[in-house]
Structure 1
Amino acid sequence: MYHEKLVEPSAVDCHVTVILAVMLPALAALIKRQYSDHLPGGKHSNVSEQDTRSVDKHNKYPERVFSNVDHMLQTRPNVSTLIMESHITFCLNKTGEWLSNQENCDKLIEESRKNVKKEKLKFKQREQVIKAKQIEKQNEEFRKKEEMERRRIEKLEKETGDMTYYGLWQSEQQVNQKLNEIKSKKEQEEALRVQLRFRKNVFKQKCDDKVYAFSRVVDGKRVQLSVEELKANVLTLITKASDSPSPETPHFLVGKEIEHRFLDDGASKWYTGKVISQVLGFRCMVNDFN
């Protein structure tokens, strides 16, 4: 009866379609990432009944533990972890029932009392081990982040170094001139890739991802772009940088040629460049300066 209601026509069906179109691709990507071992082709995709014989058929036991923990935290907010653990173990293992059937019940309880200090010491040692592993995991994550940041900086430094060698090409005339100076076709391709990488990763110039591609798929095979195709992509970026206005009225220097000085091996050299865009948030500072 209720499942029939799910497939009946409704006024919100059009909205459901849109919601599912957004949710299902994200859900599929999550499942592929989190449960790849259990999907077709994964190492656990064809498990036998023998392999799963020891696996719990339900989660009733952990749910009971969580329920007990929640109850104790609400009724005894100052309870220690060790006491809470002991209480839950005593209840779920039916220790009281077991003791009532033992002839030397009083002796067992007395021995347990004598072992309290030892158990507390073991618990503290366990906590220290857990804390040490947590700190180790955090340090490992910090090391990974530092390594990623180091690689990112190295990549930007290399791209900046390559750009310093070839120079930033800011007009079609300059592109043609620089390519004519390079005799090797392979080096021409590399010079154009340098222009594309620098504008994407350093300038972060917004454009279609296809413009930054170095290859394309032809008949199911990936083929490297030719010099002319790479050149067309660079010219597209140059045109877009010159024609794209800022959200506000662009500064009067945008689109103008300026001279700027660099220190090259301690020697001062002047270069002519073109202002291709305005940094957002910098306009008020420029106007105050003027």
Structure 2
Amino acid sequence: MKLKVKAAPKTSSYAESVFGQLDHLIRTRPSTKTLAAEACIMFLNNKTLSWLESKDTQEQQELMKKASKGVKNLRDKKEVLNQIPDDKSVFNFTKTKEGTKSRKNLTVEELITNLKMLVRQSIVRDNLDESDKHVLVGKRVKHRFDTNGEDQLYTGKVISQVPAFPEWFNIVYDEDRAVYTYHHQMMI
């Protein structure tokens, strides 16, 4: 038993301190969002400002630029996560049995179908800022697929990166209007 609790803090003073800071923020700024309050508390407790001031000017600017790009990525992720599908039943893991009130789990195939519906409905936007585009965007690619035991080459064009997921790319193949999404490691 002693081994299990060895890493646990001896007192709860740190947790009480954090909750005190949160209480103060909520009282002084009642309309603040939880994420903003959390960021403020982390900024204070991690001594981020003193750490940033210890860096030289050029490194400070690089860190701030990197953080600014990270905000855009977070906003894109938030936009993707806040999307509401046309059919909200795609979020269900169970369905009602016919003629009864009891529920049964969806099959793996039904869950996969629901996931595919969500992906189809997700927003695919082109990045308007040319400097932020990945080098693969706009390039022609060839993919080799094993079809019925036979290798086939498919040629297409990388049209964009998936918003909020920088390692995923959208590709349109020649003679096919569908948009396919691949992780960049699968494209090597």
TM-score for both structures, normalised by structure 1: 0.26
Q: Whose strand proportion is higher, 1 or 2? A: 2
Tell me the TM-score normalized by structure 2: 0.39
Give the greater-gyration-radius structure (CA): 1
Higher relative contact order (CA 8 A, sep 6+): 2
